[in-house]
Amino acid sequence: MIDSNLYGPWAVIAGGSEGVGASFAHQLADAGINLVLIARKPGPLEETAAQVRAKGVEVRTIELDLLVPDALKVIRTVTDELEVGLLIFNAGANTYGHEFVTGDLDRVQDVIDLNITAQLALTHHFGALMKERGRGGVILVGSLAGYMGQPHISVYSAVKAFSRVFAEGLWLELGEHGVHVLELVLGVTRTPAMERAGLRMDLPGLNVAEPDDVAREGLAHLADGPVRVAGGNGSAAEKRSGFPRAPLVKGAYEATKRLLPTD
């Protein structure tokens, strides 16, 4: 179980209403860590908050789109009086369905702003406070997509690659100050977001992880950064990191496109 003395008494979870974010919330509540849950959808947000609050911890909710210009300011109105020992950035957005050059450029910018700009803003703020206290942790939830470019999600793959490399540098910067940093890389995971995207998770032989399992793995290995590839996908990440790139990229796409929804 995660150490509440090291990573408490409060944790902030961006994208904490469902899927892996909700699993993080439940497991942290079981460890006695109070929670600030941030999400756009009020229904799932309040439902998860009520469930974890029933475990005896204090829970505050922030219904917020992290793309709004003053998102951090809104978050700080709730968190400035709290001692936050753990930040989990689980918010994300994808652009599946269009080639980059024919897609909506505004939507592409949203993917960049959420996965990079918002992540940097929250990490900068809470990371500085943890550094000053000399303890804490940051988990950035990444994706196996960040190890290789793919059609229709080229920008999403790119921002997830950014997050992983950023985590590696941050791990070095904050580690000497007692703050742990981990990029938790997910493969195919049975989350509501992936189900809404129409991904086919019933294919024979497909390695599908459960949210509770990957959240548990991330918390267990928070001190073992900078990167943890969850759900038994380590060999896939290693393979995608190789050279030459052309046959790897083409081969990986041929192997995974069967997961994509058909029109």
Domain spans of the chain, in order of start:
4-259
Q: Which two tokens stand for residue 58?
A: 């204090």
pLDDT at 262 over 90: no
Distance CA 249, CA 155 (A): 15
Q: Give the pLDDT band (50/70/90) at residue 196.
A: low
pLDDT at 193 over 80: no
Residue range 4-259, CATH number: 3.40.50.720
Q: What is the pLDDT of residue 190?
A: 79
Rama region for 86: left / alpha / beta (φ>0; ψ in -120 to 50; rest): beta
- Percentage of residues in the chain having pLDDT higher than 90: 81
Contact present, 1 and 31 (Cβ < 8 Å): yes
User: Which residues lie closer than 8 Å to 182 by C-beta, 6 or more apart?
Assistant: 137, 138, 139, 140, 167, 171, 218, 221, 222, 224, 225, 226, 227, 228
Residue with tokens 């540098």: 169
Q: What is the pLDDT of residues 136-149, one digit of tens each?
A: 999 999 999 999 99
Distance CA 78, CA 122 (A): 13
Segment of 20-24, 89-93, 196-200, 258-262 carrying the highest mean pLDDT: 20-24
Average pLDDT value over all residues in the chain: 92
Handedness of CA 149, 153, 156, 160 (dihedral sign): negative
Q: What is the pLDDT of residue 191?
A: 74
pTM of the model: 0.94
Distance CA 96, CA 196 (A): 12
Q: What is the pLDDT of residue 215?
A: 98
Distance CA 78, CA 138 (A): 19
What average pLDDT does the segment 62-73 reach? Answer: 97
Q: Give the pLDDT band (50/70/90) at residue 188.
A: confident
Q: What is the pLDDT of residues 153-185, one digit of tens each?
A: 899 999 999 999 999 999 999 999 999 999 999
